Amino acid sequence: DRRTEAIGHVYRGTFVHSTPHTALQVLEDALVGVDTGGKIAFIGKGQELNKLSQTFGFCPSEVTQLTQDEFFMPGMVDTHIHAPQYSYAGTALDMPLLQWLDTYTFPVEARFKDLEFAKSVYTQIVKRTLRNGTTTACYFATIHTDASLVLGQIANELGQRALVGKVCMDRNKSVKHYKETTQESQEETDRFIAELLNKKYPLVKPVVTPRFALSCTEALLEQLGAIAKNNNLHIQSHISENTEEVKLVKELFPESESYTDVYHKCNLLTNKTVMAHGCYLSDEELDLFRETGAALSHCPNSNTSLCSGTLNVRNVLKHKVKLGLGTDVAGGYSASMLDAVRRAQDVSKFLTIQDPGHDTLTFEEVFRLATLGGSQALSLDTQTGNFEVGKDFDALRVNVAAADGPIDLTQKVEPKILLEKFLNLGDDRNIVEVFVAGRKVVPFTE
């Protein structure tokens, strides 16, 4: 008997996903078995139904069968999102990054000292992202430890896989009440990590979160690097988003060779690090990312909305730097990863308009960035990102015919076309079910 755990559920139909070798693999009439622990127990072919049911001990009549217009794809991974900023998403995009932070972001984030307000906004953003197919999110919260713990609790309750960061900042010249002392920041980070780990949420982990070099003293950056190292934790921050920011970092850290070197000196570049943006990184800096295993999060909506820059994804991929997509709510105004997919294609096409020699990203490549690429960027690719035996079943059941298409209902449409249509034209109405670690988390059960 090869069974280790009882089969929880079996799904039959079209599955699309990425592998390390192919941006898009289509499995037609596949059978995917999920065990009661939410892990993929087997992947087989439809015609092997009887054999597999005997081997794995499930009843063929209980298999969930997808329709012709449906497919499963891996849940999407948002590698960079600010949960508190959802409260003003869709507004306040009329100035560049540093003024935007001072004018809108810091005053709003300061309000998250209020746990009731935090709970309300955090419930909204976790629901909104789950409904839109984000099964894994890497969140910035605010400097407030208890409110950040509330975000972890909500992600756990609603069933989203999440990295949650209590934001650290011991420098803020504009909004003076929205910062910590160096010691507070370090002690509260320790408390946040201890209390979050103590909850033993199966899918929610802490991530060490220096806001960015301009918000942190070197002493704080060093301490946070040490905390991450001692506890083997994830790290997230921002890098090289905007030219004014890059210039000020050079002035503030004259000893460092580059922006990347500021973080590297403080042990903040590891294979569990994800840095947002990176629009202005040099080839040498990208090499340092590859050597340390640190990843980038490409946030195209934010980069355009704040007029920050245009990341050359093709160049990042050439340097073999791990890369995922992020919404960067609320520098990016959309919380949907489908928007990030479309914006990433737009930015890539814009680079081709500027330079016809530029090799435009294909939709399959962008699909990979939104799924497997994101899981690799967060070093969670042993758990999620595609359909592989042993990984958790994090999946979207997509129906392209829902909400009136667009689809030709008179004939069978190729799965690749279904995926392309969904990525370019679909929305949450086409995401009929969302699974995280085998649990159906959308539609919500209330």
Task: Specify whether the CB–CB gap between 327 and 78 falls below 8 A.
Answer: yes
When the beta carbons of 126 and 329 are compared against ligand GUN, the nearer one is 329
- CB 100, min distance to ligand GUN, A: 8
Q: How far is the CB of 141 from ligand GUN (least distance, A)?
A: 11
133 closest CA partner among 445, 439, 438, 430 = 430
Q: Which stretch binds Zn ion (CB under 5 A): 40-48, 100-108, 325-333, 337-345?
A: 325-333
Pick one of Zn ion, ligand GUN, none as the site partner of residue 256 (Cβ within 5 to 8 A by kind): none
Binds 69, which of ligand GUN, Zn ion, none (CB < 5 to 8 A, cut-off by type)?
A: none
Q: Interface with Zn ion includes 365 (CB under 5 A)?
A: no
Binding partner of 241, given Zn ion, ligand GUN, none, CB within 5-8 angstroms per partner class: ligand GUN
Task: Report the partner that residue 101 touches, choosing among ligand GUN, Zn ion, none (CB closer than 5 to 8 A by kind).
Answer: ligand GUN
Contact 419, 97 (CB under 8 A): no
Residue 212 binds: one of Zn ion, ligand GUN, none (C-beta under 5 to 8 A by kind): ligand GUN
420 binds Zn ion (CB under 5 A): no
The one of Zn ion, ligand GUN, none whose footprint includes residue 165, by CB under 5 to 8 A per kind, is none
Radius of gyration of the chain (CA): 22
Task: Please state the closest distance from residue 355 (CB atom) to ligand GUN, in A.
Answer: 26
Residue 105 interface partner, choices Zn ion, ligand GUN, none, CB cut-off 5-8 Å depending on type: ligand GUN
Residue 328 contacts Zn ion per CB under 5 A = yes
| Interface residue list for ligand GUN (CB under 6 A) | 82, 97, 101, 105, 211-212, 238, 241, 302, 328, 331
Complex with ligand GUN: residue 286 or 330, whichever CB lies closer: 330
Residue with Cβ nearer ligand GUN (308 or 430)? 308
Contact 248/221 with Cβ under 8 angstroms? no
Phi first, then psi, for residue 79 (nearest 5°) are -85, 0
- Interface residues with Zn ion (CB under 5 A) are 276, 328
